[in-house]
Copies of this chain bind each other. A is one copy, B any other.
Amino acid sequence: MVKKLNYKNHKIWQKAKRLIPGGNMLISKRPELMLPIFWPTYYSKAKDCFVWDLDNKKYIDFSLMGVGTNILGYSNKQINNKIIETVKKGNMSSLNCPEEIELSKMLLSLNKWADMVKFARSGGEANAISIRIARAASKKDHIAVCGYHGWHDWYLAANLNKKNKLDKYLLKGLKTKGVPKNLENSIHTFLYNDLDGLKKLINKNPKIGIIKMEVIRNFPPKDDFLKKVRQLCNKKNIILIFDECTSGFRETFGGIHKKYGVNPDIAIYGKALGNGFAITAIVGKAKIMKNAKETFISSTFWSERIGFVAAIETLKFMKKKRTWLKISKVGDQIKRAWAQIFKKYGYDVSISGIRSIPSFSFNEKNKERSTFFTQEMLKKGYLAGNLIFVSIAHKKDMVEKYLKEFDQTIFKMHEIEKKISLKKKILGPLKFDVFRRLN
């Protein structure tokens, strides 16, 4: 376990930022978002919910778990064995791998409302493919969005509109330099649970042919919001796309839309689908999906075999172990314990998130307190922030130990704050804000 914080990883990270703009390929993995200077930043090994840094120091991951990719834990043996077998048999050839068909069938059996499937390697791609197909089907270019849907031009265009002064409707922090100006005004944002706002938007913009949204991010639907969105789409002949990249397989065996009994026209899966191996899927109704044949959508590495194999094996594992029930239960336990602990020490905190993705936010001095929390937990050997992607590797005893350390850390925070400013106990800069999602 780590006892001390050190600068070494920070130096490597500084080097990385000189070679790679931004330092890495995924914003959520930038150390500044967790603990500037002192975050371990790089790993050599990962297993279950343990991560080893470059000095072979071992940490317990009660944070992002691969940014939601590893419901079955890191280096899951069953998945890894299949991958290794596939690598040996050949990951690539001039012919196609039959696993494409097998995975299609599996995903369609989880999405009875759907008929056809396309695959890609990243969530941004899957989102862009779904938009291309839906635009081809609707013959309309405008889109209403609610949630986070990747880095592509079509989506960032939402932030091009300088006339829109309502900051809450913009995707704060998503910078748009290099997005073609001609896409301005083609993407319209709406707020979750604001049915009236959405209706007004649709009525005002008859060019909107698609509604794309996350089924749920932090708070549940109110007053049958999802059902009413579905009805609105039916009435207005709008294609409904649910982005389940984050929410998929976390609370049901498939999309979280199953929980709410509302089916989209297209659903997108990613992240946890391959337990850490790159695979994403676009699942949809035939009348819409068949439009993919009328537009050029093709990429060499979408035919790479290990993505399909990883997803097939991950789905088999999830089905057998009913993992979505297990992680949801643990998430509930963590949320309850957090609430008790914060209450005990008199902290005003908001707790939210899908059951297996609990998150908390201090309603006062959040940055300062969160930074202190991450710093102190790191000293105890934990990767911990304001959000946990629970996995089945988070076993009962480990969760209990985490919650005990959590309690001690909040107690320490409370004791310090009785006497002095918490800032005096923070060794480096405060953590940065990630971009704000629409809720």
Contact = CB atoms under 8 A, between A and B. Distances in A.
A278 B308 CA distance: 13
Nearest to A85: B84
Contact of A303 (B25, B80, B121, B295): B25
Interface in A33-69: 40-47, 51, 53-54, 61, 63-69
Interface in A178-204: 178-183, 186
A25 B92 contact: no
A26 interface: yes
Interface in A269-303: 270-271, 276-278, 280, 289-303
B75 A88 contact: yes
A221 to B, nearest CB: 25
A94 interface: yes
Contacts of A128: 152-153
B65 A105 contact: no
Q: Looking at A24, A41, A45, A108, which has the most chain B CB atoms within 10 Å of its CB?
A: A24
Nearest to A107: B19
A16 interface: yes
A226 interface: no
A136 interface: yes
A12 B95 CA distance: 13
Contacts of A97: 42-43
Contacts of A74: 90, 92-93
A295 B42 contact: no
Interface string A89-121: 111111111101100110010000001111111
Interface of A: 12, 15-16, 18-22, 24-29, 40-47, 51, 53-54, 61, 63-70, 74-75, 80, 83-84, 87-98, 100-101, 104-105, 108, 115-125, 128, 131-137, 141, 150-154, 156, 173-183, 186, 270-271, 276-278, 280, 289-304, 306-307, 383, 435
